[in-house]
Amino acid sequence: MLKQGLSQKLLQKLSPQQIQFIQLLQLNTQELEKRVDEEITENPALETEKTESSEGEEPEEEKFEAESENDFDDSDENEDNDYDDYETGLDEYIGDDGDDYAYSGQTDPNEEKRELPIANVNTLYDVLYEQLNAVDLNEREKILAGHLIGMLEEDGYLRRPLKSIANDLAFLNQLQTDEHELERILHIIQSFDPPGIGARSLEECLTIQLSKMEQTHEVQQAKKIIHHHMDDLAKKHYDKLMKSLKIDRDDLKGVIDTITHLNPKPGESQINVKAQYIIPDFIVTTLDNEIQVSLNSKNAPELRVNRGYAETLKGYNESTTKNKALKNQVQFIKQKLDSAKWFIDAIKQRQNTLLQTMKCIVEFQKDFFLTGDIEKLNPMILKDIADRIGMDISTVSRVANSKYVQTDFGIFSLKEFFSEGIQTESGDEVSNREVKEFLKEYIGKESKKRPLTDEKLTSMLNEKGYNIARRTVAKYREQLNIPVARLRKEI
């Protein structure tokens, strides 16, 4: 049985403006530049100095008088009431020259403005297609080869089964083939550079590279290890390998050296990396023991509302023509003006939040920014900054994510300043970043024939005064992408 009833609920919803601000806040400088360009392209009411309308040029929406009243004789007699609705509130647009909604950003006036060079590198697929065009294949074979190349992942591997690729070609391209034909085409692609391309496993990738090398004794033994003893190689069971291959330690060292010089991810050497350079979002400098914080100029775009659109609405207000076409035009222009103002407001709010958060981080880590000494870093979590600036933890997290700061001591990710605290024997609390630096130092100086175990590292840190458990040392080692002692062992 169906029933109707009323209930009250308290819901918290984000407005479109809040959502836009959140989205902009988490962007870094490069991503913001792209986002601003997209917004300017989509919204003609928003402009920068570069896109500002040329003198005397008016937007198409301004041509009201081109429409005739007689074109809309079938309009409802009461439609004039609708026009009143659209005229209500137009005063806030008419006469607005855009100065109240212009943003030029607060940046360091002494900052050097220069364009960073962009590396012109062909992608992996460009390189492979060039080689494909140089191979003597018929049209059908080239189509199959092109499809296989397109299926390669960025590291150069083909991970989709050939049977599934054959089904794809049948359903999507109406091209009938089978695994045997695709295998033959794949072998052709595997002959391309970089060596190892088109492999379906690590073993196949390394084998392809070894097959292209001069077949020395070391290469032959390397093939045997890859085909039959990969597990022993991964676990560094060198004694077992010497026994299986019937070779001595010196010979094994030469074989291992041959294998370690192979490329396990051949495609990565041809990837056109998006971020060739790190563009800092903040600039922190020290002058006479005073720390100054500013935004990168690229992080504060010069934006304004197109004055022509306000003039267009003024023309509508003074026009005696009232019809549907004009009403639609006014509605369109108001939407674009609102969107432009919201975007500029969101940019302003973003920059204020970034600066407020960065200044608080600098104040919290003042000793580090003055000296550059990693041991001066204080333990700091997101909540510490959020409480100080009166914002939510998620807001601080969005600011810290993928943002960088340029200091007198180098460029750092904001995430590096957030760390847990470690208790020392004296009762002081230090940043775990300091502990990680000692871990890297100890492991960097260790004997690779007898690498330091986690237990030994824990003992060394305890002797230095850090109260830390072995499992914590293991966690920090993993965060530093350092393998266990057994896998760091060398011959």
423 or 336: which carries more pLDDT confidence? Answer: 336
* Same domain assignment for residues 316 and 432: no
* Same domain assignment for residues 180 and 308: no
Most confident of 84-93, 162-171, 297-306: 162-171
Q: How confident is the model at residue 18 (pLDDT cuts 50, 70, 90)?
A: confident
* Same domain assignment for residues 103 and 81: yes
Question: Quick one: which of 378, 214, 366 has its CA closest to 286?
Answer: 366
Per-residue pLDDT tens digits for 303-314:
888 777 767 766
Q: Which helix (H) or strand (E) holds 244?
A: helix 238-245
Number of domains in the chain: 3
Mean pLDDT value across the chain: 79
* Same domain assignment for residues 393 and 289: yes
pLDDT at 47 over 80: yes
pLDDT at 273 over 60: no
Segments forming the whole domain that contains residue 222 = 124-270
pTM, full prediction: 0.54
* Same domain assignment for residues 166 and 256: yes
Sign of CA dihedral 487, 415, 105, 344: positive
Q: Which helix (H) or strand (E) holds 430?
A: strand 429-431
* Same domain assignment for residues 323 and 398: yes
Q: How confident is the model at residue 416 (pLDDT cuts 50, 70, 90)?
A: confident
* Same domain assignment for residues 469 and 490: yes
To the nearest 10°, the Cα dihedral for 29, 33, 39, 45?
A: 110
> Is 325 a domain residue?
yes
* Same domain assignment for residues 398 and 309: yes
Per-residue pLDDT tens digits for 184-215:
999 999 999 889 999 999 999 999 999 999 99
Q: Where do the DSSP E strands lie in 321-428?
A: 404-407, 410-413, 421-423
Question: Residues for the chain: how many in total?
Answer: 491
Chain centroid to CA 72? 52
Are 206 and 226 in contact, with CB atoms under 8 Å apart? yes
Q: For position 474, which CATH number holds?
A: 1.10.10.60
* Same domain assignment for residues 185 and 248: yes
41 or 430: which carries more pLDDT confidence? Answer: 41
